């Protein structure tokens, strides 16, 4: 059995504008992003034979195919667990291409998350349905523990207790992301940096999380074209080769509420992804020049640095000190501004940024970028990628 590493690449990226009210349907957003990604790659819709999206996406593959003018599909798939699906869609697409199940697969995520259904709002129905997910939620929703911020805050409190991290440490993540977004014209928070004092002064959402520890909510769509590395070399853009792709779920895993297993100070599922990425790529953290770390809430950026091995357990606060994850630090994280600064497109916009970093076309370009590591949603079963320049 041969490795998936190096056989496939991201050949095109596309997106809509990122807004708070797109003014159009999620299907239209999906179609626009897919067109943009295909145009970026220099491919026609008729050349696409595979589509992958998130289980949570409101647009079925067949609907997107109809809208865009894609003909026969030989592969279609969906990846579960919210934002944890992001890199997983690329893994599924890469596997389909590597095995011959499809030749050109488009991954997409499109939603009106701000003007439509907002994930951050309490929904009493979460605990109401007798599915396994509903039963899981039923241990938490009756007590009002029912928003992503609250679930993450439960881990953050334990992390602070275990390692002496403070709210200011979390705040430094937000400050770095807003610094990056401030010079990214595509970012919602373009030209709007924040200070640590502003972070500390922002209202409580769920203690210990302030408002500025939580990412924004956005309308928008992103699409990616995955094809073989060989074919990608002949296309319009230089390929971002998929050196590694992995999904991860840990023992005793739950959807944001894995409170019943380990000491709650890490992210077991991200540890699974990390092992997968390092094993498939044959690399180590030293080989990575920039990282796209899922930042829906600041505390999990610290946990990810540790799970991925960029620093030791409990050392992330020191790793980040003095701008360590900023554009000029020792590991630039989310040069586009992340979901805290650019937009919340469920992690898909981060993969697009990783591709730009590989191509050398980012507004916050990191010098000498050879390999970029990308992660997906945290606290949920998740996924990751290492993309490389040829």
User: Which parts of this chain interact with another protein (CB under 8 A)?
Assistant: 120-122, 124, 127-131, 134-147, 150, 153-155, 157-158, 161, 203-208, 211, 257, 259-260, 264
174 or 205: whose CB is closer to another protein? 205
- Is 184 within 8 Å of 176 (Cβ atoms)? no
Six-digit token pair at 295? 């930042």
**Sign of the dihedral defined by the CA atoms of residues 233, 186, 178, 382, in that order:** negative
CB of 136 to another protein, least distance (A): 7
Instruction: Give the pairing type, strands 382-388 and 371-375.
Output: antiparallel
Instruction: Give the pairing type, strands 219-228 and 371-375.
Output: unpaired
89 or 147: whose CB is closer to another protein? 147
- Is 219 within 8 Å of 113 (Cβ atoms)? yes
CB of 269 to another protein, least distance (A): 18
Helix (H) or strand (E) holding 359: helix 348-359
303 or 362: whose CB is closer to another protein? 303
206 or 291: whose CB is closer to another protein? 206
* 81-108 b/e (C-beta count within 10 Å ≥ 16 → b): bbbbbbbbbbbbbbbbbbeebbbbbbbb
126 or 363: whose CB is closer to another protein? 126
Helix axes 26-41, 61-68, angle to 10 degrees: 60
CB of 366 to another protein, least distance (A): 35
Based on the residue annotation, tell me whether 108 is a catalytic residue of this protein.
no
Six-digit token pair at 279? 């094993």
Alpha-carbon gap, residue 279 to 337, rounded angstroms: 29
171 or 335: whose CB is closer to another protein? 171
CB of 258 to another protein, least distance (A): 11
Q: How far is CA 218 from CA 66, 169, 342, in A?
A: 25, 25, 9
* 230-263 b/e (C-beta count within 10 Å ≥ 16 → b): ebbeebebbbbbbbbbbbbbbeebbbbbbbeeee
Based on the residue annotation, tell me whether 344 is a catalytic residue of this protein.
yes
**Sequence-ordered list of residues with C-beta below 8 angstroms from that of 57, at least 6 positions apart, any chain:** 26, 30, 78, 108, 109, 110, 111
CB of 163 to another protein, least distance (A): 13
Six-digit token pair at 297? 């809430």
131 or 284: whose CB is closer to another protein? 131
CB of 257 to another protein, least distance (A): 8
Helix (H) or strand (E) holding 304: helix 299-307
- DSSP code for 385: E
CB of 109 to another protein, least distance (A): 24
Instruction: Give the pairing type, strands 50-54 and 104-112.
Output: parallel
The DSSP line for 26-75 is: HHHHHHHHHHHHHHHHT--GGG--EEEEETT-SS-HHHHHHHHT----SE
190 or 259: whose CB is closer to another protein? 259
CB of 296 to another protein, least distance (A): 16
Active-site choice (54, 81, 108, 344): 344
Q: Give the active site residues.
A: 294, 344
């Amino acid at each position: 059995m041969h490795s998936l590493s190096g056989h496939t690449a991201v050949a095109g990226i596309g997106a809509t504008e990122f807004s708070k009210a797109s003014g159009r349907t999620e299907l239209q957003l999906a179609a626009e992003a897919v067109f943009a990604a295909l145009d970026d790659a220099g491919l026609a819709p008729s050349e696409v034979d595979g589509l992958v999206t998130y289980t949570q996406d409101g647009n079925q593959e067949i609907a997107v195919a109809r809208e865009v003018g894609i003909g026969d599909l030989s592969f279609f798939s969906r990846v579960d667990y919210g934002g944890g699906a992001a890199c997983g869609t690329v893994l599924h697409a890469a596997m389909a291409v590597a095995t011959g199940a499809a030749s050109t697969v488009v991954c997409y995520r499109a939603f009106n998350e701000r003007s439509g259904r907002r994930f951050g709002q309490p929904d009493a129905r979460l605990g109401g349905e007798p599915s396994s997910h509903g039963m899981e939620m039923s241990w938490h929703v009756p007590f009002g523990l029912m928003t992503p911020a609250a679930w993450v805050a439960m881990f953050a409190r334990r992390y602070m207790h275990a390692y002496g991290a403070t709210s200011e440490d979390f705040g430094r993540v937000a400050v770095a992301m807003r610094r990056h977004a401030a010079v990214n014209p595509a970012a919602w928070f373009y030209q709007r940096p924040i200070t640590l004092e502003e972070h500390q002064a922002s209202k409580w959402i769920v203690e210990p999380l302030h408002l500025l520890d939580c990412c924004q909510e956005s309308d928008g769509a992103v699409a990616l074209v995955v094809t073989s590395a060989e074919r990608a070399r002949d296309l319009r853009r230089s390929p971002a080769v998929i050196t590694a792709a992995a999904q991860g779920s840990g023992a005793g895993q739950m959807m944001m509420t894995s409170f019943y297993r380990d000491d709650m100070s890490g992210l077991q599922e991200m540890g699974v992804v990390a092992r997968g990425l390092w094993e498939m790529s044959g690399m180590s953290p030293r080989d990575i020049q920039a990282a796209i770390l899922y930042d829906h809430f600041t505390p999990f950026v610290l946990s990810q640095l540790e799970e991925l091995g960029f620093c030791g357990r409990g050392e992330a606060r020191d790793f980040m000190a003095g701008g360590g994850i900023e554009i000029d630090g020792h590991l630039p994280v989310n040069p586009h501004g992340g979901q805290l600064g650019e937009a919340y497109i469920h992690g898909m916009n981060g993969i697009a940024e990783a591709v730009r970093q590989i191509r050398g076309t980012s507004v916050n370009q990191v010098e000498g970028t050879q390999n970029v590591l990308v992660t997906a949603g945290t606290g949920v079963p998740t996924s990751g990628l290492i993309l490389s320049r040829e």
